[in-house]
Every structure is written in structure tokens, then in C-alpha cells.
Amino acid sequence: MVQNKRGITAEDFYRMRYTSDPQLSPDGKAVAYVQTMVDDDRSYRNHLFIQSMEDRTVTALTEGAVRDTSPRWSPDGSQICFVSKRSGTSQIWLIDAKGGEPKQLTRCKTGAANPVWSPDGKHIAFSSMMTADDSFEELESEEKKEAPKKAIVVNRMKYKSDDFGYVYDTTKHIAVVHVETGEITPLTKGDYLHTVGAWSPDGQWLAITANRVENTDTQHSVDVYLVPVGGGEWKKLTRSMGTFFFPSWSADSKKLSYMGSESPTQLIATQKKLWVTDLESGIQTCLTADWDVQVGDSTIGDVRSPGHPNPGGVWTTDGAGMYFIASERGNSGLYHATLNGEITQIVGGPRNIYGFSLHAEQNKAVIAVSDPFTPGDLYEVDLLTGEEVRLTDVNRELLAELELPEPIELEYEGQDGWKLHGWLLKPVGHKADQKYPMVLQIHGGPHSMYGNTFFHEFQLLAANGYAVLYTNPRGSLGYGEKFVQACCGDYGGNDYLDLMSAVKYACERFDWIDTDRLGVAGGSYGGFMTNWIVGQTKLFKAAVTDRSICNWLSFYGVSDIGYYFSAEEIQANPFDNPEKLWQHSPIRHVANIETPLLIMHGEQDHRCPIEQAEQLYIALQHQGKAPVSFIRFPGASHELSRSGDPVQRVLRLQYTAEWFDTYLHQTEKVVME
């Protein structure tokens, strides 16, 4: 081991910080950003900072027991609006860019989010979740708040959401607030979910995205609309044949870009592309049609929460092209595309660029970066030369204490000769003459990717003496359209064989891996696959499954996405082909499971509801064959391991490490399959 350094611990999470959502000022002289941390009371804190791009001085704009996010500069650079719960609910606040006391701008009954300034700086567009009876009125007093409902009438299929909880009577609407008077003007209505996009530079239109089809329960497309701010007829730019997000205007207000995919059948298992509509001619063009790469950041990590702000495609000043993030082979970088489809990588490498802000006139950007040794920091980039300068180093003290092994990149052949890709971490303090246990980690999605980003859980297992194998089997993003769709209708088929090929390859290449002490772990789809694996083979001596799926028949009706996810991913439903749902269900093979299994699940998980874990646990206990333990996390959603309660996240890591420590000991020899 490197002298004076140690392996990472689960509790080190409480000391970690990361930066996100960089926003360059209109004059390019400063960048505002969010820094996320865990306070002494084990609660999250989000504070806003401003860093000078000239002398690099850093100023804390907000502080204290608050969660302040989404900083956005006013067009003249004098103010910053942001979202905060400091008044009890999420509202829009204003603060002088030079500092001072924040001023609350909105007092909406249902909260406010996603602020976007008008070009003249007089208004801010925002969104709010609300019921049919709500309006953008002031918050109710405690005395006037309604008592809890005694009965709830549900009339639609999309009545719950892992993001928002129960939404049986909830819609999402957009309004505009006057910065000086606080007067609010609603822009949308109806039983639909609308998302704020971007204000046109001429101030006339607001580009938004929404699903406004006749039956939103069964038609899941998301379209791009132009809403006239002064009133009038909307313009629909897409054809309700896919999902589109992150609209962005050219400087002359004549073109609009957006990200998404157009397919009448594949809404989930498909790569996102970069699109442009010429608003004068109405011609829609896919700039990346011939580029078989995922547009946007698809990298999975466990320090930053998913869903960090995506600026979409950001235009050059001349309107001849735009900058955007794309994901390929475990890396996500910053790219430039011209209107004729020429694509150039600006900055890349073995890392995860998860956000950026552009100052087109000055040809510079600030990028948010993670790599296997960096949870999340900011860099300035010269867009002409690609030269980078580091701006933040928020974990310097913690990282100076740690020994973090460098991932070994792997390329190997899977089923049917498919080329596959992954990584291996050596145990901390690795010695060539010793044997070490190995844990196979399986990502969720399945349409996401492992890559060159910081992963606390992997480093923790390495610190505890394990090799950690993590790969991207078919179904993962980052390897082309054919690859991402290859698992559909075949869950537990070739994707399973890809993972087993990875284990075999690693064990044959690295003779210090002890094949008698192999473990497997995963969450969500990775939990499904963990459940499937232990029902297929006795190769693994311990397994950890969390937020998992074991029964596709019940998942269909209990998950917030089950009925349409199953149709696309398993390619079956209970009333047409229940046999296929059962065929792909791990619980079908529960009698074969002899591997000690730790089951962990959040009690408020609407994506993979806890009944999935309950079924598996009871079935295993009833048989009395394999050691099994069930850990429930009260109040936790599907985001348990990524943005869940900090204490629960640390407990989950501790339980994982303890389970493998208990069961990955010397056992009788098992022949590799």
C-alpha cells in the first residue's frame, strides 16, 4: 500500500463534495455553480458559489442549512435566480450577483422550479406540479391547509411516479413571473405534464416539451412546442413519434435544436440524437443520424444523483453549429456538430463530462467532470485549442488520504462473437503472490453504461480486499443502436452470457483472482440480473441484490412504468403472453438458489416496488435452503443508492461489504462455466 494512505470507507461519503450545474456569467468573467455536501447532522446541503474566471477567487453566495440549486444569471449579470426550499417548499429566489440576502420571488402553493430568464430580464418562466383545483396562488397558511384525504379516486394508469410520489390528480404547468411585481401569468393548462425549455432570443416564444396526446397513459411520446408568450396559437415541431427534450435556440431565433429519438416502437431502448428545426421552412433535420453514438451523458455513478441539468445543444454565435455532450464506450465528452452533420470531439478522454456552460463569443466553456479518482469538479476549456484549466478541487483533503486503484480496461469476446468492454479494479494493497476474491457488479437500466467515473461502492470493495469487475453487457448505451436494443425480449439470455463471459475472461487473465470466492451484486436491472444469475449457477458464493425485480408478471401492474416498460423490454404483457413474462422472471428459478443472498429495498420505491423483494425473500425463507437476509429502508425510493438519505446510503454500503466479508471465504472448488 502507498505509504500514509488508506482505502476508502463507507463513512467517507459524509465528507465528499461535488460540483454541478456550472453557469457562466453573460460577460464570461465568472461562473456560478452548485456544491453539494453532507452536513454534520447527516443532511444534504446545496450551496451556491461564484468563481472569478480572471483571478480565480471563490465566493460563497449562499450558506447554512439550505438546499439551493439551479443558479441562473439575469441577462445583465446583476442578479442570480435560484431554486430553494428555505421557506419550506421549492420556490424561486433572487440574489444580487455580488452577494447579500436572497429575496423570495414566488410563493406558489405547489412550489416552483426550473427557472428561465426572459431575454429582457423582466420575467422568469418556471414550472409547478399542481392538481386540477390548484393555481399559482400564494401558499396556504397552516390553518387553511386541507386535512389528509380519507379516500382517493384513481382514474388513470400513470398515477404514481418514483420522482414525484403519487400523482393521481397532478399535472405540471408553466407560468411566467414578473421580476419586479411578482405577478404570475399561467402559460399552460389541461391534464398534461409540461417542462420548461428555453426562451427565444427575441422574447416572443417559449420552447417547451410536453406529452399532450389524446391518451397519455398509452401514448408516451414527448413533443416540442413553441408557446407564444403574449398569447396565441402554439406551434408543434415534432410528430408524437418519440421523446424529445432540452430545446435550445439559435441566436437569431430562426432555428431550434433539441435532443431525443424518433421511433414509433422504441421509446426506451434507443439512442438519443441531436435534432434541428428550421422555423422558417419547418424542415426538421437529425444532425447525428449517421453517427451511431448516444447524445447526452449516460454514465452511472453513485456519488452524484442522476438527472443533473443538461443544457442540450448550445449554439455557436453564427448559428452554424452547436456543442453537446455524448457518451461512447464508457466515456462522455464535449462535442461540436455543424448543421451538415460534421462532428468533432472538443474534449474527451477516460472520464465523465456530466455538464457544461458555454460562452460562445469568447470560445470558452466550463465543464463538470468526474473520473475514477474525482467525484465532481469544474474545468475551464478553450474551445479552439481544447486546452483545460482546473477551477475546483473540492475533495483535495479527503482524496489525499486515500489509495484509489486505477481501473484496468478490458476488451473481450462474448456470445456470438460480440465485442464487449469493461473494467477491473485491483484490491487496495494488491500483492502478486496472493489470491483475492472478486465481485461482479451489474448496472441498472439496462440502457445506461458503466464508465470512467467515480464509484464509491467499487472503491469501498477494493479497499476491503476485493477485485471489482464491472462491464457493459448488451443492452448498455455507448456501443451503438444495435447493441442497446439487443437485450429486448431476451432478458436473462445473451446479456446473462455476456456477464458470465466477463467473469471467465477476468479469471483466466488474472491468476490472482480466487475463483472459489466470487460474488455478484447489482441494483434495479442489475438486481434482476443478480437474481437471475444465482438461479442459473452456483459459481458465486455470495450475492447482493437491491431495488430488484424478480417477477415480471407482478411488476407489470405495480411499477410506475411497468405496463409499458414490460411491453418494450420483455416484449410481453399478462393478457397476451403471460408465459413469456414468467419465462424471464428470476423467481421461476428460486428453487435452484443456494447462494447466500442479501436483499435490500426501499419501502417507497415506485419503480421496482418492494413487493418484488418481499416475494423473493419469502420464497427463499420458505425453502430454508440458502442463507438470506432482507433489509428494508423506510421512506426510500428507487434513488436509494444515488440521491437517497445519506445515512441510508452509508448503511447500504456497510451491509454490502459485511455480507461479502461473511460469505466470500475459502470453499470447495467450482469449475468455471
> What gap in Å lies between CA 196 and CA 118, rounded to an integer?
12
Tell me what pLDDT residue 625 has. 83
pLDDT digits 0-9 by tens, 556-582: 999 999 999 999 999 999 999 999 999
* Residue 596: pLDDT over 50: yes
Which residue numbers are catalytic?
Answer: 524, 638
* Residue 190: pLDDT over 50: yes
Distance of CA 459 to the CA centre of its chain: 20
| 121-125, 218-222, 492-496, range with the lowest pLDDT | 218-222
* Mean pLDDT, residues 485-514 taken together: 98
Tell me what pLDDT residue 142 has. 54
* Residue 141: pLDDT over 80: no
DSSP letter (8 states) at residue 607: S
At residue 307, φ and ψ (nearest 5 deg) are: 80, 20
CB-CB contact of 310 with 272 (8 Å): no
For the chain, the average pLDDT equals: 94
* Residue 672: pLDDT over 50: no
CB-CB contact of 620 with 594 (8 Å): no
pLDDT digits 0-9 by tens, 286-335: 999 999 999 999 999 999 766 678 889 999 999 999 999 999 999 999 99
> What gap in Å lies between CA 31 and CA 26, rounded to an integer?
10
C-alpha dihedral, 482 to 344 to 302 to 431, nearest 10°? 90
Residue 280 cell numbers, joined: 422558417
SS3 string, 157-199, reads CCCEECCCEECCCEEEEEEEEECCCCCEEECCCCCCEEEEEEE
421-444 b/e (C-beta count within 10 Å ≥ 16 → b) = bbbbbbbbbeeeeeebbbbbbbbb
* Mean pLDDT, residues 467-471 taken together: 98
Tell me what pLDDT residue 144 has. 57
Tell me what pLDDT residue 305 has. 67
* Residue 665: pLDDT over 90: no
163-198 b/e (C-beta count within 10 Å ≥ 16 → b) = eeeebebbbbbbbbbebeeeebeebbeeeebbbbbb
Tell me what pLDDT residue 669 has. 37
At residue 632, φ and ψ (nearest 5 deg) are: -105, 140
* Mean pLDDT, residues 608-621 taken together: 98
CB-CB contact of 259 with 296 (8 Å): yes
Whether residue 578 has a cis bond before it, omega within 30° of 0: no
Residue 220 cell numbers, joined: 408516451
Report the percentage of the chain scoring pLDDT > 90. 88
Alpha carbons within 13 angstroms on the beta-carbon side of residue 351 total: 20
CATH number of 399-550+585-663: 3.40.50.1820
CATH architecture of the domain 105-140+156-286 equals 6 Propeller (2.120)
- Characterize the bridge pairing of strands 79-84 and 68-73: antiparallel
Residue 145: pLDDT band with limits 50, 70, 90 = low
* Residue 78: pLDDT over 80: yes
State the distance between the two ends of the chain, measured CA to CA, in whole angstroms: 34
Angle among Cα 92, 95, 101 to the nearest 5 degrees reads 110
Q: Which residues 6+ apart lie within 8 Å of 353 measured at CB?
A: 297, 325, 332, 333, 334, 347, 367, 368, 369
> What gap in Å lies between CA 632 and CA 571, rounded to an integer?
31
Q: How many CB atoms lie within 10 A of CB 307?
A: 10
* Residue 368: pLDDT over 90: yes
352: nearest Cα among 240, 434, 455: 455
Residue 162: pLDDT band with limits 50, 70, 90 = very high
| pTM (two decimals) | 0.96
